[in-house]
Amino acid sequence: MSFGSGSIPDYLQRLRNSKIRKANRQKNFKGGNDYSKVKSVKTEYNFPKISRYKLSEFKKKIKREAKNKKNSELNGWILFSVIIILILILFNFYKF
């Protein structure tokens, strides 16, 4: 019995291979890792500016739409449950 004597050389070989793969990946990477100047770089998106009043109105509109959607979903679930209850009552008390 070798008591795992093959696992250490395999482990060392995996370490060597991972170092080689890492070095190869770094060669292919052409960008720099200097993220200290991120704020000075202009983004590709050009977001429009909006006044505070229009922003608050827009937020209220979004909240109102979300509330209406939530209410309509709740009404749908309530209607569905009432229909199921009526069907169960119909099949339990009436003999066909």
Give the mean pLDDT of 49-64.
95
Instruction: Tell whether 76 is covered by a domain.
Output: yes
Instruction: Tell whether 81 is covered by a domain.
Output: yes
Instruction: Tell whether 3 is covered by a domain.
Output: no
Q: Is the pTM of this model over 0.85?
A: no
Instruction: Please give the residue range of the domain that contains residue 83.
Output: 51-96
Instruction: Tell whether 94 is covered by a domain.
Output: yes
Instruction: Tell whether 56 is covered by a domain.
Output: yes
What percentage of the chain has pLDDT greater than the value 90?
A: 46
Give the mean pLDDT of 1-8.
64
Give the mean pLDDT of 21-25.
81
Instruction: Tell whether 44 is covered by a domain.
Output: no
Cα dihedral 53, 54, 57, 61 in deg (nearest 10): -170
Of 30, 17, 37, residue with least CA distance to 9:
17
Instruction: Tell whether 26 is covered by a domain.
Output: no
Q: How many domains does the chain have?
A: 1
Residue 9: which pLDDT band, with cuts at 50, 70 and 90? confident
Q: Examine the pLDDT at 43 and tell me if it is beyond 90.
A: no
Instruction: Tell whether 8 is covered by a domain.
Output: no
- Using CB atoms within 10 Å of the CB of residue 48, give its burial: 0 to 12 exposed, 13 to 18 middle, 19+ buried: exposed
